[in-house]
Amino acid sequence: MLGGGRRCCPCFGSGSSASDGEEVADRDPVLLVSGMGGSILHSKRKKLGFETRVWVRIWLADLQFKKKLWSLYNPVTGYTEELDDSCEIVVPDDDFGLYAIDILDPSLFVKCLHLTELYHFHDMINMLIECGYEKGTTLFGFGYDFRQSNRIGKSMDGLKAKLETAYKASGGRKVNIISHSMGGLLVTCFMSLYPDIFSKHVNKWICIACPFQGAPGCINDSLLTGLQFVEGFESYLFVLRWTMHQLVIECPSIYEMLPNPGFNWKVPPVVQVWRKEPEDDEGPAVKLETYGPLETSIVFEEALRHNELNYDGQTVALPFNFAILKWATGTRKVLDNAQIPEGVSFYNIYGTSFDTPFDVCYGSETSPIGDLSEVCHTMPKYSFVDGDESVPTESAKADGFAAVERVGIPACHRELLRDKRVFGLITKWLGVSPKVAECSRTSKVMDAVA
């Protein structure tokens, strides 16, 4: 990597902050808000205060995930709580909140191999610094516990505090928010619940790849067979699909991204199951059962009724959680009631040109499902629509707001965060341009936490 005529070792990050003593740019601050899986999470011992990175990590990923991140939803508090009651999950706020959303496994191993799947907001942070933004004065990040609901108190309080910090640090300038994926739902919830605070502190909101009306194929299947964040050979070093499955069943944020049954879909998304029917005179019979957005809970309930995990020698039942579904229904009302306050400009970037899961089918005519619990141990077959491989274009475009601009970019979900065309739109909408910059530091040299 070249910058300002000198070479930087690619194993090390780079960056600048207001503490470097350079003149602070006369501009509105930017706050970057991550999405599902887009924040580093630490497990913190309640007594000793020692912290261990549990998301994201390459080494011992699956083991640490099971031990520290497996959780149960508490319907009294509305929070998903760790099975390990000696620890709590926290989000590091180092580097003005940017550390947690930059390189998601900031170990030397990942940096030296430059595993781009884990370089989350890294390139965008670099780009903004090259445009003259200063960490801690005009550039901030907001990571959060993405297991929780997008309208839960801690996340709302955290976003409010970060907006106030950016507002004050820049001398009372309104903040420009750039959100990615589920981060757009969190921002929408905040805007809906606290419109006066949002109006006071926000100037522009640039939303990237947000599942405004849900992510039907990905989310329906995640509740039945799990979620795979990394593909290819790297997946063998990462959290296993089944391990992730046992967490997402207890995550309100996942339920909040189920397809919106009240949205006017061109064709409503469905879950289909090829089922064995009782034998008749002509032999075994097969039937294709179809479930729409209001009926999929029938499949979830039946398929997950025997689901359980073993934790610390004890069996923990994890059926489909109707208490979370009820909470998520309340969140959908919050989202549907959101409006862009007067004086705030909204921009929407969404992904196109990639096959994106929409309908999900389990079993086949020649290999049908007997008991619905078998679904959890089969691989899905998708029907695809246009989108970014995760969020259908139809959902990402349907923000329901008066947008200044909506632009489709042919890129997949996470690659939108490092796409040069996206960067061009962001700099245009922010009214900035890259400067001739020396090699800048965006990440710590090494991870201080194991």
* Active site members: 181, 388, 413
* Three-state DSSP string of the chain: CEECCEECCCCCCCECEHHHCCCCCCCCCEEEECCCCCCCEEEEECCCCCEEEEECCCCCHHHHHHHHCCEEECCCCCCEEECCCCEEEECCCCHHHCHHHCECCCCHHHHHHCCHHHECCHHHHHHHHHCCCCECCCEEEECCCCCCCCCCHHHHHHHHHHHHHHHHHCCCCCEEEEEECCHHHHHHHHHHHCHHHHHHHEEEEEEECCCCCCCHHHHHHHHHHCCCCCCHHHHHHCCCHHHHHHHHCCCHHHHCCCCCCCCCCCCCCCEEEEEEEEEECCEEEEEEEEECCCCHHHHHHHHCCCCEEEECCEEEECCCCHHHHHHHHHHHHHHHCCCCCCCCEEEEEEECCEEEEEEEEECCCCCCECCHHHHHHCCCEEEEEEEECCCEHHHHHCCCCCCCEEEEECCCCCHHHHCHHHHHHHHHHHCCCCCCCCCCECCCCCCCCC
- In Å, what is the CA distance from 74 to each residue of 11, 144, 283? 42, 19, 47
* Residue bearing tokens 């959303």: 101
Separation of first and last alpha carbons in the chain: 27
425, 87 Cβ separation under 8 angstroms: no
Q: Say how far apart CA 227 and CA 56 lie, in whole Å.
A: 14
